[in-house]
Chains A and B, each alone.
Chain A
């Protein structure tokens, strides 16, 4: 009992300081705010969008931004704001779906190859092979061949981003595997699967989460790129990429069709990237460690003076 009491307080204190650090990190905080706003917009899209994003209104083609249409209207009279809201929703959905599924599959592949030698040789060769493709090119080719629709875009993006996650998981798991506590567990006769699931997964969560956030961001960019190239979400469904594609044809007289969806993409990706960077700063023990070390060193120097 006593030892339990002794152990608990520092643990709780550490957690609290981590959480506080996360809030203190200005970058992480502002990124989270941007993302929260975007998430609310995409969650409540039907309530926020003032018009039906599919409703064509030929009388009001290419209207510049006004009170009735704050982002203007597009080349067939649809409300650009409503389309951007729904486009954000699709981008968010694709980002989350790709990050989640690729994260899960990547986790499994990474863990298996870290702990099973034979699987390592096979899985990692395949992963390296897919990793060798420039990602947007492979995604483009898969969607081109399968035909552009949401499920094919999802499939392509998941295939393309599994390798980066499984590589991170594998190398993190290899580090955990070498640690004394795992050796001790194995010496005690612990089952390999038990070590893998109960002891390895919690210890590789930080790098996994960081990598998944980056995949989230890059999946959104890639989807926008694919839709812009005509190999993503097909019309008339709104996606940030295909609004830009429509906007490109009328770029001479309708700047709003480029500027508003463009800024939305920038905000989304900037938010995700700052969250990713912020998470890395707070979660990555190496950086925290280095910072503490440098703090100690500067204290020492101060003492000398």
Chain B
């Protein structure tokens, strides 16, 4: 296990290196002079030269890169041009709503898909099964921002059960917090729900075919007990894999859904920064999210190794 962990950690080094290079060059991808883009065409030559010096753009590229990398390692991602705040500080100010949303969405996705997946597997080939399969295909196909818009139309504009948009922090009370986050969380959770439902259904079907389930049936155990106590438990590892894999996508998906519902999270921060052409914030946010994404996937991977020794052995080979 230790060897496997170290191996996986070492694999991260080149990945992070490439990620860092790409993120660094993002700021250099601007068509024309980035300083002109920032200050506008009317800015004086002196002002431009000063800003160029301040940003280090007058240094050779590799010096800029090494300097930037060493800053990043010290946790310094630069300062926002627009907000005059360190990027890390801005990022963590906006992180709360995004995490709340991602966790709530994951919760909804898991509850829905375990329920639907088990129903579909138990009634294979019936209308219920087809409905569930259709639901999961839709969930996988329809982009989350679109689900969000449709939810707003139905539940906020027509039925007026939920607010159209906005956000209330947890400090305003749990109920308000949940009321504002429910539609966004369903929108975000739909794709996860689609994926997990599919996996639950097929994994349950596999387990239901095994001999010990037949034994349980012939012993005369009740159907419910067989499904939930014997089958679902053993069907759970592949389901867990999909849940884990989807957690990283949730964080980025949250960014898009936030824009639909005007939630002041990371997504809003990115979109606002694009409008303000605040490159350091875009750079920093992309870097932080990607690193989080990679690390979450790593942790999930390592956890399987701990949960199921077969996975560890297979990967070693």
Contact = CB atoms under 8 A, between A and B. Distances in A.
B43 interface: no
Interface stretch (A62-70, A100-108, A221-229): A221-229
B293 A270 contact: no
Given A221-B143, A266-B141, A273-B137, A255 B157 contact: yes
A134 B146 contact: no
A251 B164 contact: yes
B294 interface: yes
Contacts of B248: 134
A275 to B, nearest CB: 12
A210 interface: no
Q: Which of B14, B145, B275, B286 has the most CB of A within 10 A?
A: B145
Contact of B252 (A136, A217, A231): A136
Interface stretch (A10-18, A142-150, A169-177): A142-150
Nearest to A125: B14
B26 A141 contact: yes
B274 A255 contact: no
B256 A136 contact: yes
Interface in B259-317: 259-260, 270-271, 273-275, 279, 282-283, 286, 289-290, 293-294
Contacts of B17: 125, 129
Contacts of A205: none
Contacts, number: 127
Nearest to A141: B286
A226 to B, nearest CB: 10
A266 B15 CA distance: 34
Interface stretch (A47-55, A110-118, A257-265): A257-265
Q: Report, as a range, how many residues of chain A touch the other chain.
A: 35 or more
Given A144-B282, A230-B271, A244-B149, A137 B164 contact: no
A224 B29 CA distance: 23
B152 interface: yes
Interface in B65-117: none
B293 A145 contact: no
A24 to B, nearest CB: 19
B255 interface: yes
Given A136-B252, A138-B22, A129 B149 contact: no
Interface string A177-221: 000000000000000000000000000000000000000010001
A142 B256 CA distance: 16
B59 interface: no
A138 B150 CA distance: 26
B295 to A, nearest CB: 10
A262 B22 contact: no
Contact of A269 (B21, B142, B149, B256): B142
B256 A144 contact: no
Given A141-B26, A141-B282, A262 B252 contact: no
Interface in A222-279: 224-225, 228-231, 244, 247-248, 251-252, 255, 258-259, 262, 265-266, 269-270, 273-274
13 contacts: A126-B18, A129-B18, A133-B293, A137-B286, A141-B26, A145-B30, A230-B274, A231-B271, A258-B149, A258-B150, A258-B153, A269-B142, A273-B141
Interface of B: 14-19, 21-22, 26-27, 29-31, 137-138, 140-143, 145-146, 149-150, 152-153, 157, 164, 248-249, 251-252, 255-256, 259-260, 270-271, 273-275, 279, 282-283, 286, 289-290, 293-294
